[in-house]
Amino acid sequence: MQMIIKALFAVMLFAVVSMTQAETNRAIAHWTNFVQSMGHERHAKWLDAISDERAVALAKRWKQLRGYDAYDILANYSLPKELQPGLTINKQNVEEYPWLSEYLPRAYLNSLRADQGFVRQISIVPTNTYYMNEGVLKATLAIQGKGLTPLTDDNSTLVNPDGSATLLNDQTASAIPYLHPKNGLELNWSFIAHGVGSETLIFDPMVSNSCDAEGHLDVQYTGFIWWQKFHGRQRIEPLGSVDDKEKFIEGGALLVVSPNDVSGIAAVRQRTARGHDKDSFRIFIPSMRRTRTLSGNDAQDPMYYGLEVTWDDWRAYWGKTDRETCEYRLLGEKLILASPETGYVYRSATMDEGQCAWLDMEMELRPVWVLEIEDKKGRYQYKKRTIYIDQELYYAQYQEMSDKRGEPYRTWDDSRSWRPFDGDAQWDHITVYNEFNKRLNLITITPDWENRGGKVTEEYFDVDQLRDM
C-alpha cells in the first residue's frame, strides 16, 4: 500500500510541476501536446530541454522584464484555423492555403510552388519562448533601474546620458538598450546590442555549399570562425573588457581551409562604437601573398567567389549605423513563419543528397518588428534591407534585401543553436538565396561550446597571426 501511495504521490507531484512550468512558459504545454501527437524523438528531446528548471526560471525572469512573451503576443492575432503545429506544406497543397503569403516570406513561398525549389516542404512546429543569457538580463535590469536610457548623438553613436559610448561601457555594453523600441533607430540599436547572442563563439567548422541556378553544387567551402564581444563581459573569461579594445564593440575572425584555391584566406573585422570611426577590416589573400586593409566599399563584395554572403552580411548584418546615409524605419509588427532555434538539440532542416536544397524545413510562428533600412544616397549595394526582428530575442528572424533599383535581390534566414538552460546562442544553419540569379548558399555550422574563454585569444584578432595558425 505504501508503494502505491508513493507512486501516486510521484505522479501528482510531476503533474503539479508540469502545470507550474506550463503556466510560466506556455511553450511547454504546446510542445507536450505536439510530442504526444507526432512522436518524434528529436521533439521529445527539445521538450526536455525547454522543461529544464533553469530554462523555466530564466524564461520567467525575461518575461517579467519585457512584460510579455511570445504567447501573449500571439493571443492578439486571429490565425487561420489550419495554421497549427503538425501542418505540412509542399507543392501538392500550397495553393490550398491562400493565407500563406501573410506569414511565409516570399522566397520560401515561391520555392514551394516551384518544381524543384530550394525548400521542398515546410513543417509547422509549436512556437517557442526565447530569451538571452543571464548576463544580458542583469545588465538590462541595471540600466532600467538606473534610468540609463541612451540616445543617438550627431555622429550616429549610441551614447549614455554621461556621454560614454553605450556599447563600450562595461555597465551598459551587454544590455538591450530599448526593450520596447519606439522607432526604427531604437530597434536597430537593440538588434546591434544583441550581437551574436553570446560573449564568445566558435564555429568548428563552418561548411558553405555554393549552388547554381539549376540546384547543382558548384563548390563547398570549409572554414572556421571565432567571435568575441569586447565589453561588458559577465559569463566567459575574460570578464569586463578585453584588453586593447577601447574603440571596438566586437570582432570576428575567419580562416578558410578548403578548397585549395581559397585555402589560407584569413580575415579580421572589428566594429567600432563611434559613428565617425572606421571599422578595422583586414584580410590576408594567399594568392597575392599580402594583407589588405579594406574599406566600407570593399565590405559590399562577396566574401569569396561563389558566396552570396558579402562582408556586410557577415554576422547577419554589419552595416555601419549612419543617419546621414540611411533611413531607419519601424514599419510595424506582425507574425511570420521562421526557422526555430533548436540547433543545440537538433537541426530543424533536412538537406537533400545533392546538398543544394532542404527536403524539409521546420518553421514556427514568430512575433516580429519590421525594420526597414533604406540607403538615402544610392551608394550602397542594397536600396533597402528589411529585417524581421524577433520581439523576444531582439535578433533577426529573416531578412530581405533589394538591389539599387528596388527589385528583390537577396534573402537571409538562419536557425540558431540556442541553449534553453542558459539562453546562450551560436548558429546551426543559414540559407542565403539570390532571388535575381537564383543562386543559393546553404551553410551548416558546428559550434564549439567547451572552454571558449581559453580557446579564443587575442591572436585570433590579428590577421597576420591568424593566417599562420
Per-residue CA distances from 413 to 223, 231, 326 (Å) = 20, 28, 23
Q: Considering the domain boundaries, does residue 356 fall inside one? A: yes
Residue 275 to residue 273: CA distance in whole angstroms: 6
pLDDT, tens digit, 9 for 90 and up, residues 4-26? 433 334 333 344 444 445 566 89
pLDDT, tens digit, 9 for 90 and up, residues 39-77? 899 999 999 999 999 999 999 999 999 999 999 999 999
Confirm if 204 and 214 have CB atoms less than 8 A apart: no
Per-residue CA distances from 18 to 9, 58, 102, 239 (Å) = 14, 16, 34, 36
Q: How confident is residue 454, by pLDDT bands cut at 50, 70 and 90? A: very high
pLDDT for 104 equals: 98
* Boundaries of domain holding 268: 76-469
pLDDT for 333 equals: 98
Confirm if 340 and 362 have CB atoms less than 8 A apart: yes
Of 362, 371, 369, 376, whose CA–CA distance to 401 is shortest? 371
* Statement: residue 299 has pLDDT above 50: yes
Q: How confident is residue 305, by pLDDT bands cut at 50, 70 and 90? A: confident
Q: What is the pTM of this model?
A: 0.94
Residue 439 to residue 309: CA distance in whole angstroms: 11
Residue corresponding to grid cell 528531446: 45
Q: Considering the domain boundaries, does residue 33 fall inside one? A: no
Mean pLDDT value of segment 19-41:
85
**Residue 110's CB: how many other CB atoms inside 10 A?**
16
**Residue 454's CB: how many other CB atoms inside 10 A?**
10
Confirm if 232 and 465 have CB atoms less than 8 A apart: no
Q: Considering the domain boundaries, does residue 144 fall inside one? A: yes
Which grid cell sits at 232? 561588458
**Residue 210's CB: how many other CB atoms inside 10 A?**
23
Confirm if 88 and 112 have CB atoms less than 8 A apart: no
Residue 459 to residue 469: CA distance in whole angstroms: 9
Q: What is the count of structural domains for the chain?
A: 1
Sign of the four-CA dihedral 327, 328, 334, 338: positive
Q: Considering the domain boundaries, does residue 34 fall inside one? A: no
Orientation of helix 53-66 relative to helix 134-146, angle to 10°: 30
Bridge partners, 271 (sequence order): 250
Mean pLDDT value of segment 75-87:
98
Residue 48 neighbours by CB under 8 Å, 6+ apart: none
Mean pLDDT value of segment 149-153:
95
Q: Considering the domain boundaries, does residue 5 fall inside one? A: no
As a whole number, the mean pLDDT across the chain is 93
Mean pLDDT value of segment 403-421:
97
pLDDT for 13 equals: 37
Q: Considering the domain boundaries, does residue 53 fall inside one? A: no
pLDDT for 24 equals: 64
CA 26, chain centre distance (Å): 23
SS (H, E, C) the chain: CHHHHHHHHHHHHHHHHHHHHHHHCHHHHHHHHHHHHHCCHHHHHHHHHHHCHHHHHHHHHHHHHHCCCHHHHHCCCCCCCCCCCCCEEECCCHHHCHHHHHCCCHHHHHHHHCCCCCECEEEECCCCCCCCCHHHHHHHHHHHHHCCCCEECCCCCEECCCCCECCCCCCCCCCCCCCCCCCHHHHHHHHHHHCCCCCEEEEEEEEEEEECCCCCEEEEEEEEEEEEECCCECCCCCCECCCCCCCEEEEEEEEEEECCCCCCCEEEEEEECCCCCCCEEEEEECCCCEEEECCCCHHHCECCCCCCCECCCCCCCCCCCCCCCEEEEEEEEEEEEECCCECCCCCCEEECCCCCCEEEEEEEEEEEEEEEEEECCCCCCCCEEEEEEECCCCCEEEEEEECCCCCEEEEEEEEEEECCCCCCEEEEEEEEEECCCCCEEEEEEEECCCCHHHHCCHHHHCHHHHCCC
Confirm if 288 and 299 have CB atoms less than 8 A apart: no
Confirm if 193 and 204 have CB atoms less than 8 A apart: no
pLDDT for 98 equals: 97
Mean pLDDT value of segment 341-364:
98
Q: Tell me how far apart the 2 most distant CA atoms of the chain are, in Å.
A: 82
CATH value at residue 233: 2.50.20.10
Residues in the chain, total: 469
Report cis status (omega within 30 of 0) of the bond before 259: yes
Q: Is 332 left (phi over 0), alpha (psi -120 to 50) or beta?
A: left
Q: Considering the domain boundaries, does residue 4 fall inside one? A: no
Q: Considering the domain boundaries, does residue 432 fall inside one? A: yes
* Statement: residue 161 has pLDDT above 60: yes
